[in-house]
């Protein structure tokens, strides 16, 4: 038995035998009780809270902060019911600030074949899908979970027979999520990701979060959970989340949602730019939600579809009050590494309203149903203080022009897995690698970019795994010296951090630390 658990049981025993209201556990200062609780597992903490009402009251703040500030949920009846219970709880509803949604599914659902789905599976068919012995109770639970999952996601039999329905209006999960979000007055962050989230920074927990209801469902069915990478799953989840968030009305007693995140690590997961076109179908409802956003962090799956290029830029233009913008491109063979989508967005940041194409912007809702929308205002982002870009190939002048436009407010930039290329003006912009030139006369684009940032207000640079190409040259850019730090929510490489209020001194430090190493190229994926 652990020392922490022994301490917990000792306190509980003494409390049970002490009839004096001023017994020893009650007389312990709150700081000591919280110090004990900090080292306890959840089961032991519950035992400590059950010793008496005054101990429970003393630990309420610690308990609610550690276990309800940030919660992870999935698409299942058990998980949705837990979220609804929290939202209707008089005390806990104001504690939840960070809502995480993960595409967890039972392994029996995987791979998901929506066209062959059946809302009325028999226990015999379910047993054939599982392929291992199950009790009657487990089979019954599997059938119920299977039905509720498809109902929540909106994969109805009638729609499945023709085309899977991707509209949130057909999904029960969208309405139950909207009900929960309306009843969470302090909700600040909505986070979609294809990997478990870490606990919030002040928590005593160190293990990644588990989706609420997952252990209960695994115990009922005898099946483990997996994070699905099925195409369109995350995109469909995003549409439902956006619809639910847009249904949350402005209220003086409620804090507006400030942060929207979509994090993707698995290369098989998809989040296409066309998904971002959904809010345009409800311009009145999306206005308040998008204008309330202060942080937007997206991982985009690039694909060679010209109609999708403006989608990201237009989506960002709906959030003019952003202070933190992170854009990552998901590496995908046969694509341009997000270059067309990112450069379109950066160009829109750089140009003013008069230079935006007035003919309208194409948002491809599906391959067969394109709709057109007017471009609206240019991406000005007058309050943007932090810009983070990752996993992309960019023409350095495009990035430099965008940073120049953001110069009045920008205070921090982060570049991770970015290759800057330099194109000759007489070369077509579609050529990713310029023709041969004289290496002796070539100055890598990163040096030019940092030189262009002299005189800006940027006080912090986070740099990792950079590359450059131009004039027939390919180099990796590394940085010598100290100052490396690992980002908490990333399993990726280390960052070199430069931070100094004397901004031009930072540029000199960066240029002095840069080490350029020739390489064969970066176009084969993860070699760098």
Per-residue pLDDT tens for 285-303?
888 999 999 999 999 988 7
Which two three-digit tokens encode residue 498?
Answer: 């430069």
516 and 397 share a domain?
A: yes
In the prediction, which pLDDT does 426 show?
39
In the prediction, which pLDDT does 6 show?
52
Planar angle of CA 361, 365, 367, nearest 5 degrees: 105
In the prediction, which pLDDT does 121 show?
62
47 and 178 share a domain?
A: no
Distance from the Cα of residue 355 to its chain's centroid: 32
| Domain span at 490 | 393-528
In the prediction, which pLDDT does 305 show?
72
Q: Write out pLDDT tens, residues 472-506.
A: 778 888 887 656 565 544 445 577 888 887 777 88
50 and 122 share a domain?
A: no
Cis amide bond preceding 111, omega within 30 = yes
Q: Which of 451, 445, 524, 453 is nearest to 477 (CA)?
A: 445
**In the listed set 326, 352, 384, which residue is the last one of a domain according to the structure?**
384
In the prediction, which pLDDT does 143 show?
79
pLDDT band at 249 (very low <50, low <70, confident <90, very high): confident
Please indicate, yes or no, if residue 279 is contained in any of the structural domains.
Answer: no
Q: Which of 486 and 92 is assigned the larger pLDDT?
A: 92
Q: Is beta strand 225-227 parallel, antiparallel or unpaired with respect to 189-193?
A: unpaired
In the prediction, which pLDDT does 294 show?
98
Tell me which DSSP letter residue 493 carries.
P
348 and 206 share a domain?
A: no
Q: Which of 419 and 367 is assigned the larger pLDDT?
A: 419
Please indicate, yes or no, if residue 280 is contained in any of the structural domains.
Answer: no
Q: Which of 19 and 287 is assigned the larger pLDDT?
A: 287
pLDDT band at 465 (very low <50, low <70, confident <90, very high): confident
In the prediction, which pLDDT does 3 show?
54
Please indicate, yes or no, if residue 16 is contained in any of the structural domains.
Answer: yes
Please indicate, yes or no, if residue 224 is contained in any of the structural domains.
Answer: yes
In the prediction, which pLDDT does 154 show?
75
Q: Which of 327-331, 333-337, 424-428 has the highest mean pLDDT?
A: 327-331
In the prediction, which pLDDT does 128 show?
65
In the prediction, which pLDDT does 292 show?
96
Q: Write out pLDDT tens, residues 96-129.
A: 999 999 998 887 665 444 434 555 566 666 666 6
Q: How far apart are CA 91 and CA 80, in angstroms?
A: 19
**In the listed set 271, 305, 333, which residue is the last one of a domain according to the structure?**
271
Q: Calculate mean pLDDT across residues 82-89.
A: 96
174 and 125 share a domain?
A: yes
pLDDT band at 320 (very low <50, low <70, confident <90, very high): very high
314 and 234 share a domain?
A: no
Q: How far apart are CA 259 and CA 295, in angstroms?
A: 5
CB 309 within 8 A of CB 277: no
145 and 201 share a domain?
A: yes
Which two three-digit tokens encode residue 301?
Answer: 């799956």
Q: Which of 251 and 526 is assigned the larger pLDDT?
A: 251
500 and 426 share a domain?
A: yes
Burial 255-286 (b: 16+ CB within 10 A, else e): ebbbbbbbbbeeeebbbbbbbbbbbbeeeebb
Q: Give, in order, the Cα–Cα distances in Å from 296 to each of 189, 291, 403.
A: 10, 11, 18
29 and 98 share a domain?
A: no
491 and 348 share a domain?
A: no
Q: Give, in order, the Cα–Cα distances in Å from 70 to each of 49, 98, 201.
A: 21, 5, 10
131 and 212 share a domain?
A: yes
Q: Which of 468, 300, 305, 278 is nearest to 389 (CA)?
A: 300
β-pair partners for 461: 413, 498
Q: Report the SS3 class of residue 42.
A: helix
In the prediction, which pLDDT does 427 show?
42
**In the listed set 327, 350, 384, which residue is the last one of a domain according to the structure?**
384
pLDDT band at 441 (very low <50, low <70, confident <90, very high): low
Which two three-digit tokens encode residue 157?
Answer: 């039999």
Q: How far apart are CA 256 and CA 246, in angstroms?
A: 11
Please indicate, yes or no, if residue 416 is contained in any of the structural domains.
Answer: yes
Please indicate, yes or no, if residue 351 is contained in any of the structural domains.
Answer: yes
Q: Write out pLDDT tens, residues 221-244.
A: 888 888 887 778 898 899 999 999
CB 112 within 8 A of CB 269: no
For the chain, the domain total comes to 4
Q: What whole-number percentage of the chain has pLDDT above 90?
A: 31
Please indicate, yes or no, if residue 278 is contained in any of the structural domains.
Answer: no
Q: Which of 119 and 258 is assigned the larger pLDDT?
A: 258
Planar angle of CA 367, 369, 375, nearest 5 degrees: 100
Please determine, for residue 13, whether its predicted confidence score (pLDDT) is greater than 80: no
CB 111 within 8 A of CB 233: no
CB 349 within 8 A of CB 320: no
64 and 97 share a domain?
A: no
Half-sphere exposure of 374 (CA within 13 A, CB side): 5
Q: How far apart are CA 513 and CA 527, in angstroms?
A: 23
Q: Report the SS3 class of residue 105.
A: strand
Please determine, for residue 434, whether its predicted confidence score (pLDDT) is greater than 60: no
Q: What is the mean pLDDT of the chain?
A: 78
Q: Which of 518, 521, 336 is nearest to 442 (CA)?
A: 518
In the prediction, which pLDDT does 369 show?
40
Question: What is the full DSSP assignment across 245-312?
Answer: HHTS---TTSPPP-EEEEE---TT----GGGGGGGGGSHHHHHHHHHH--EEEEEE---S-GGGHHHH
In the prediction, which pLDDT does 43 show?
82
């Amino acid at each position: 038995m652990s020392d922490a658990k022994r301490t917990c049981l000792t306190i509980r025993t003494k409390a049970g035998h002490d009839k004096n209201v001023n017994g020893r556990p009650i007389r312990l200062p709150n700081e000591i009780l919280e110090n004990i609780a900090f080292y306890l597992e959840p089961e032991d903490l519950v035992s400590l809270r059950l010793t008496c009402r005054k101990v429970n009251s003393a630990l309420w703040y610690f308990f609610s902060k550690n276990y309800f500030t940030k919660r992870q949920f999935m698409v299942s009846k058990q998980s949705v019911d837990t979220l609804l219970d929290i939202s209707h709880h008089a005390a806990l509803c104001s504690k939840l600030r960070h809502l995480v949604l993960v595409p967890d599914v039972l392994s029996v659902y995987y791979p998901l074949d929506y066209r062959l789905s059946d809302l009325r599976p028999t226990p015999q068919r379910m047993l054939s899908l599982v392929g291992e012995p199950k009790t009657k109770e487990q089979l019954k639970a599997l059938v119920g979970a299977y039905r509720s999952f498809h109902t929540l996601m909106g994969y109805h039999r009638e729609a499945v027979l023709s085309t899977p329905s991707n509209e949130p209006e057909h999904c029960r999960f969208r309405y139950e999520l909207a009900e929960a979000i309306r009843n969470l007055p302090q909700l600040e962050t909505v986070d979609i990701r294809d990997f478990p989230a870490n606990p919030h920074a002040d928590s005593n927990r160190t293990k990644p979060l588990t989706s609420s209801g997952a252990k209960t469902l695994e115990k009922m069915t005898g099946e483990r959970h997996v994070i699905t990478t099925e195409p369109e799953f995350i995109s469909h989840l995003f549409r439902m989340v956006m619809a639910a968030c847009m249904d949350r009305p402005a209220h003086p007693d409620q804090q507006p949602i400030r942060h929207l995140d979509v994090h993707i690590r698995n290369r098989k997961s998809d989040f296409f730019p066309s998904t971002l076109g959904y809010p345009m179908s409800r311009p009145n409802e999306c206005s308040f939600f998008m204008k309330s956003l202060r942080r937007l962090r997206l991982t985009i799956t690039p694909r060679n579809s010209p109609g999708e290029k403006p989608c990201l830029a237009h989506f960002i233009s709906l959030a003019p009050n952003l202070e933190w913008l992170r854009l990552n491109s998901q590496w995908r063979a046969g694509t341009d590494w997000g270059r067309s989508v990112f450069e379109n967005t950066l160009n829109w940041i750089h140009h003013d309203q008069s230079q935006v194409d007035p003919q309208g912007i194409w948002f491809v809702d599906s391959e067969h149903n394109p709709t057109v929308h007017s471009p609206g205002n240019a991406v000005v982002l007058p309050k943007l203080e932090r810009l983070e870009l990752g996993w992309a190939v960019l023409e350095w002048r495009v990035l430099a022009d965008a940073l120049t436009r953001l110069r009045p407010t920008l205070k921090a930039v982060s570049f991770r897995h970015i290759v800057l290329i330099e194109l000759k003006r007489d070369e077509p912009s579609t050529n990713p690698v310029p023709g041969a030139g004289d290496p002796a006369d070539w100055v890598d684009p990163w040096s030019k970019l940092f030189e262009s940032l002299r005189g800006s207000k940027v006080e912090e640079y986070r740099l990792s795994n950079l590359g450059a190409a131009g004039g027939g040259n390919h180099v990796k850019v590394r940085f010598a010296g100290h100052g490396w730090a690992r980002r908490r929510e990333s399993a990726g490489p280390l960052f070199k951090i430069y931070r100094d209020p004397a901004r031009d001194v930072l540029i000199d430090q960066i240029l002095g630390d840069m080490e350029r190493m020739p390489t064969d190229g970066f176009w084969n994926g993860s070699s760098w």
